C-alpha cells in the first residue's frame, strides 16, 4: 500500500477534505510510490487562513532575527543534502549528483537571503526642506503563493520561498504533483529551524489548488515557475485581480558555435547542457547553431559518438549520465516529437526512441537523440520538447544565427562559443534573450544576480532572486517627517515645495 502524502499546514501534515488523490511515480521503475492528496479551494483557504494569522508577528520580527532562522534552515539543508538528493532522485529521476548540484543552487539563494537586513535597507534624505527628513522602507506584502514545477523540486521553492519569508512574508508553496516529497521535506526543515507555524505552508494538488491560490482574495502576490501556457494563465488571472505576479516559463535555448570556437570544449559543454537531467531544464540547450558548413560538420563528427554513447540509468546509478523522464506521458510526448522531426524531414543522426534498460523495463527512459538540418518551421524547432533531444539548426553566417534566435518566441537563455571578443560582444548586444553565456553553456546567474528570461519565457517585470526578488516580495513606504522645531510656516493652501 503506497504511502499518502498530505499537505503541510500550520506546522503539521493535514490530509485535507477534497477526497481527491493522484499517483506519484518512481520514474526509474515506473512504479507508483505514493498517493498524493489534491487540495480543494477549501483546503487552500485553510492554508491561507493559517498563514494570515501567522503573518503579522513574523512581519514584525526584526529582520536580523528572521535572518537567524534562515541561517538555521541553511544549515539544516546542508546537513540533509544526501536525504534531499535521494528524495529528489526517487521522484524526479535525475541522478544524485545532478540533484545535489540543484540543491546547492537553492542553498546559494538561502545564503543570499541571510543578508536580508542589509538588502531591506531603505533610503534617507535628511532635510529635504523646512526640517523635513524623507525616508523609505520596504515592508512585506502578506501571504504570497509560490507555484513550482517538477524539474527542480528543491531549488525553485528555495529561490522564491526563502526570499519571500526572509522579507517577512508568509509563503504557500504549491509544488508539482509529480514530485511533492522534497518540498514537503523542506517544510519540515523550516519547522525545525524555528520558523513559526503557518509561515511556510505546502498545499499539494493540481490546477484546482493553483486556481484557488491565484484567485484567493487574501493572497496579494504569486510567483510561478512552469510552462508558458500555464504561466500566462496564472499571470493573466492574477493581474486581472490586481495582484502582483511574476511567471517564469518555457524555453528554447540556442547555442551558437562560431567557426573559431574550441570545438572540443564546445561539444563537452553542449553535451552537459543538452542532455544533463535528460534535457528537463528550463536552461537546457535544445538547439545548437553551427555557423558555416565546416563548423556543422566538425560539430556533428564529435557529437554523434558522444550522444550515441550516453548512459541512461536510475537516479542512484553513479555511472549514469542521465535518468528517465518524469512520467510515461512525458516519454510518449518526447517520442512523438521525434516522430514529427522525422516526418518533417530533419536528419535523425541518433535515435533515442524505444529505449529500454535491463531491470528497469517499465521506467520512463528516452535515449539521447540528435537531429541535424532542422529548420525553423519544424515543430521540433519551435516547441519546447523538454527531453534529451538536441537539434542542429545550421546558419550560414553570424547574422543568420542572431536572426534565428531573435525570431524564436522564447527567450530564456542563449550561449555563444567563440574565441572572438568582438563577435561575443556584438552577440550579447544584439540577442533579445534574458540570460546570455559567452563560452558558458548554462548561464544561470548566481544567487546575488537576477534570474529571468523575456518574451514568452517570462511574464511580469521582476526577476527571480538577486536584488529584484527583494523588490517583488516587498512594498515600498516613504515617510516625510518633521519634528517640532519652532519653524512656523503658517497656513499654506498651495502645493508644498522646498523652494
Ligand atoms: P507545468 O506548467 O505543467 O506545472 C507547473 C505548475 O503549474 C505545477 O505546480 C502544476 O501543478 C501547475 N499546473 C499545471 N497545469 C496547470 C493548469 N492547467 N492550471 C493551473 N496550474 C497548472 O510545468 P512542469 O511540467 O512542472 O515544468 C516544466 C516547465 O517549467 C517547462 O516548460 C520549463 O521550461 C518550465 N520551467 C521554467 C523555468 C524558468 O525559470 N523559466 C524553470 C523551471 C522550469
Q: Which of 114, 167, 249, 282 is catalytic?
A: 282
Residue nearest to atom 13 of ligand 1 (CA): 207
CA dihedral 434, 435, 441, 442 (to 10 degrees): -100
Q: Which residues are registered as beta bridge partners of 289?
A: 256
On the 0-12 / 13-18 / 19+ scale of CB atoms within 10 A, 235 is buried
b/e sequence 189-227, b meaning 16+ C-beta within 10 Å: bbbebebbbbbbbbbbbeebbbebbbbbeebbbbbbbbb
Q: How far is 393 from 346, CA to CA, in rounded Å?
A: 10
Q: To test ligand 1's pocket by mutation, which of 149, 246, 464 has the most ligand atoms within 8 angstroms of CB?
A: 149
CA–CA distance, 18 with 15 (Å, rounded to integer)? 9
| Sheet-wide strand order for 7-9 | 12-14, 7-9, 200-202, 170-174, 143-147, 221-225, 244-248, 458-459
Neighbours of 480 (CB within 10 A): 12
End-to-end CA distance of the chain: 77
What is the tens place of the pLDDT at every residue in 14-63?
A: 999 999 999 999 999 999 999 999 999 999 999 999 999 999 999 999 99
d(CA 306, CA 303): 5
- Cα distance between residue 307 and residue 391, in whole Å: 12
pLDDT class of 1 with cuts at 50, 70, 90: low
Nearest Cα residue to atom 28 of ligand 1: 226
CA dihedral 455, 457, 459, 460 (to 10 degrees): -90
Q: How much is the average pLDDT of 406-432? A: 98
Q: Based on C-alpha coordinates, what's the Rg of the chain? A: 25
User: What is the average pLDDT score of the chain?
Assistant: 97
Using a 10 angstrom Cβ sphere, with 0-12 exposed, 13-18 middle and 19 or more buried, the burial of residue 447 is buried
Q: Cell triple for residue 450? A: 537576477
Q: Do 227 and 410 form a contact (C-beta atoms < 8 A)?
A: no
pLDDT, position 487 = 67
| pLDDT digits 0-9 by tens, 144-201 | 999 999 999 999 999 999 999 999 999 999 999 999 999 999 999 999 999 999 999 9
Nearest CA to ligand 1 atom 35: 226
Cβ-based burial of 289 (10 A; exposed 0-12, middle 13-18, buried ≥19):
buried
Determine which residue's CA is closest to atom 19 belonging to ligand 1. 207
User: β-strand 143-147 against 458-459: which pairing, if any?
Assistant: unpaired
Q: What pLDDT does 489 receive?
A: 72
| pLDDT tens for each residue of 361-387 | 999 999 999 999 999 999 999 999 999
Q: Does position 76 have pLDDT exceeding 70, yes or no?
A: yes
Q: What are phi and psi of 222, to 5 degrees?
A: -130, 130
pLDDT surpassing 80 at residue 88 = yes
Distance (Å) from CA 250 to ligand 1 centroid:
8
Cα–ligand 1 centroid distance for 149 (angstroms): 4
Name which residue sits closest to atom 22 of ligand 1, judged by CA: 207
Closest ligand 1 atom to residue 231 Cα is: 2
In angstroms, what is the span from residue 150 Cα to ligand 1's centroid? Answer: 7
In sequence order, what E strands does 187-261 have? 200-202, 221-225, 244-248, 253-257
Quote the pLDDT of residue 38: 98
Distance in Å, CA 231 to ligand 1 centroid? 7
Give pairs for 353-362: CB < 8 Å, separation 24+. 355/312, 357/312, 357/313, 357/314, 360/28, 360/29, 360/30, 360/314, 360/324, 362/29, 362/30, 362/31
pLDDT for 497 beyond 90: no
pLDDT at position 128 over 90 = yes
- Helical (H) or strand (E) element with 347: strand 347-350
Write the DSSP symbol of residue 158.
I
Residue 294 Cα, ligand 1 centroid: separation in angstroms? 39
What is the mean pLDDT of the segment spanning 250-265?
A: 98
Question: What residue owns the CA closest to ligand 1's atom 21?
Answer: 207
Q: Give 225 Cα–ligand 1 centroid separation in angstroms.
A: 6
In tens, the pLDDT along 312-365 reads 999 999 999 999 999 999 999 999 999 999 999 999 999 999 998 999 999 999
Task: Examine the pLDDT at 274 and tell me if it is beyond 80.
Answer: yes
Q: Is it the case that residue 395 has pLDDT exceeding 90?
A: yes
Closest atom of ligand 1 to 227 CA is 32
Q: What is the pTM of this model?
A: 0.97
Ligand 1 midpoint to CA 70 (Å): 26
> Which ligand 1 atom is nearest residue 149's CA?
26
Q: Answer whether residue 485 shows pLDDT above 90.
A: no
Please give the Cα distance from 49 to 40 (Å, whole number): 14
| 495 CA from centroid of ligand 1 (Å) | 50
Cα distances (Å, whole numbers) of residue 380 to 122, 296, 308, 351, 409: 48, 18, 19, 14, 14
Report d(CA 209, CA 42) in Å as an integer: 9
Report the nearest atom of ligand 1 relative to the CA of 412.
41
Q: Tell me, what DSSP letter sits at residue 439?
A: S
Atom of ligand 1 nearest to the CA of 226: 30
pLDDT band, very low/low/confident/very high, at 499 (cuts 50, 70, 90): confident
* Nearest-CA residue for atom 40 of ligand 1: 248
Which atom of ligand 1 has the smallest separation from the CA of 451?
Answer: 40
- Kindly report the protein residue whose alpha carbon is nearest to atom 10 of ligand 1: 176
Closest residue by CA, ligand 1 atom 37: 249
Instruction: At 450, give phi and psi (nearest 5°).
Output: -95, 150
What pLDDT is attached to residue 199? 99
Question: What is the number of the ligand 1 atom nearest to the C-alpha of 148?
Answer: 9
> Distance between CA atoms of 156 and 443, rounded to whole angstroms?
16
Could you confirm whether 282 is annotated as catalytic? Answer: yes
226 CA → ligand 1 middle, Å: 2
Pocket of ligand 1, candidates 151, 158, 213, 226: which has the most ligand atoms within 8 Å of its Cβ, to mutate? 226
Q: Domains of the chain (ranges plus CATH)?
A: 3-249+459-479 (3.40.605.10), 253-438 (3.40.309.10)
> CA-to-CA distance for 87 and 100, rounded, in angstroms?
11
Pocket mutation for ligand 1, best pick of 227, 327, 409 (most atoms within 8 Å of C-beta): 227
Bridge partners of residue 244, in order along the sequence:
221
Lining residues, ligand 1, CB within 6 Å: 147-152, 174, 176-177, 206-207, 210-211, 225-227, 230, 233, 248-251, 282, 384, 386, 412, 453, 457
The mean pLDDT of 484-493, rounded to a whole number, is: 79
Amino acid at each position: 500500500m503506497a504511502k499518502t502524502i498530505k499537505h503541510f499546514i500550520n506546522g503539521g501534515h493535514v490530509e485535507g477534505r477534497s477526497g481527491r488523490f493522484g499517483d506519484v511515480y518512481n520514474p526509474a521503475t515506473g512504479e507508483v510510490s505514493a498517493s498524493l492528496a489534491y487540495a480543494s479551494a477549501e483546503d487552500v483557504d485553510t492554508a491561507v487562513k493559517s498563514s494570515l494569522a501567522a503573518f503579522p508577528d513574523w512581519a514584525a520580527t526584526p529582520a536580523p532575527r528572521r535572518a537567524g532562522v534562515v541561517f538555521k534552515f541553511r544549515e539544516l539543508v546542508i546537513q540533509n543534502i544526501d536525504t534531499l538528493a535521494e528524495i529528489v532522485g526517487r521522484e524526479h529521476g535525475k541522478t544524485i549528483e545532478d540533484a545535489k548540484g540543484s540543491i546547492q543552487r537553492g542553498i546559494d539563494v538561502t545564503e543570499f537571503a541571510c543578508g536580508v537586513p542589509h538588502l531591506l535597507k531603505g533610503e534617507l534624505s535628511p532635510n529635504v526642506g523646512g526640517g523635513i527628513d524623507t525616508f523609505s522602507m520596504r515592508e512585506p506584502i502578506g501571504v504570497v503563493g509560490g507555484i513550482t514545477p517538477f524539474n527542480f523540486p528543491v531549488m525553485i521553492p528555495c529561490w522564491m520561498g526563502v526570499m519571500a519569508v526572509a522579507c517577512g512574508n508568509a509563503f504557500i508553496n504549491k509544488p508539482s504533483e509529480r514530485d511533492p516529497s522534497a518540498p514537503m521535506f523542506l517544510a519540515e526543515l523550516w519547522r525545525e529551524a524555528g520558523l513559526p507555524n503557518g509561515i511556510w505552508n505546502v498545499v499539494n494538488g493540481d490546477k484546482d489548488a493553483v486556481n484557488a491560490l491565484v484567485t484567493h482574495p487574501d493572497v496579494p502576490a504569486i510567483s510561478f515557475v512552469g510552462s508558458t501556457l500555464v504561466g500566462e494563465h496564472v499571470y493573466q488571472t492574477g493581474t486581472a485581480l490586481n495582484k502582483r505576479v511574476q511567471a517564469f516559463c518555457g524555453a528554447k535555448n540556442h547555442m551558437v558555435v562560431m567557426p573559431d570556437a574550441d570545438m572540443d570544449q564546445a561539444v563537452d559543454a553542449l553535451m552537459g547542457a543538452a542532455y544533463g537531467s535528460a534535457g528537463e531544464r528550463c536552461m537546457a540547450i535544445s538547439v545548437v547553431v553551427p555557423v558555416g558548413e565546416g563548423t556543422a560538420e566538425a560539430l556533428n563528427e564529435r557529437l554523434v559518438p558522444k550522444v550515441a554513447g550516453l548512459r541512461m540509468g536510475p537516479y542512484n546509478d553513479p555511472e549514469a549520465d542521465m535518468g528517465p523522464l518524469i512520467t510515461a506521458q512525458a516519454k510518449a510526448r518526447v517520442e512523438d516529437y521525434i516522430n514529427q522531426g522525422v516526418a518533417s524531414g530533419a536528419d535523425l543522426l541518433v535515435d533515442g526512441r524505444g529505449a529500454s534498460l535491463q531491470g528497469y523495463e517499465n521506467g520512463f527512459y528516452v535515449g539521447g537523440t540528435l537531429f541535424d538540418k532542422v529548420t525553423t518551421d519544424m515543430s521540433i524547432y519551435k516547441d519546447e520538447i523538454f527531453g534529451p533531444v538536441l537539434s542542429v539548426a545550421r546558419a550560414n553566417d553570424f547574422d543568420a544565427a542572431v536572426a534565428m534566435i531573435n525570431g524564436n518566441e522564447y527567450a530564456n537563455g542563449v550561449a555563444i562559443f567563440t574565441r572572438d571578443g568582438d563577435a561575443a560582444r556584438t552577440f550579447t548586444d544584439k540577442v533579445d534573450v534574458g540570460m546570455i553565456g559567452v563560452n558558458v553553456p548554462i548561464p544561470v546567474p548566481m544567487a546575488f544576480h537576477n534570474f529571468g528570461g523575456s518574451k514568452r519565457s517570462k511574464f511580469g517585470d521582476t526577476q527571480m532572486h538577486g536584488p529584484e526578488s527583494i523588490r517583488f516580495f516587498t512594498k515600498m513606504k516613504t515617510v516625510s517627517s518633521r519634528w517640532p522645531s519652532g519653524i512656523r510656516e503658517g497656513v499654506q493652501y498651495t502645493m508644498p515645495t522646498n523652494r
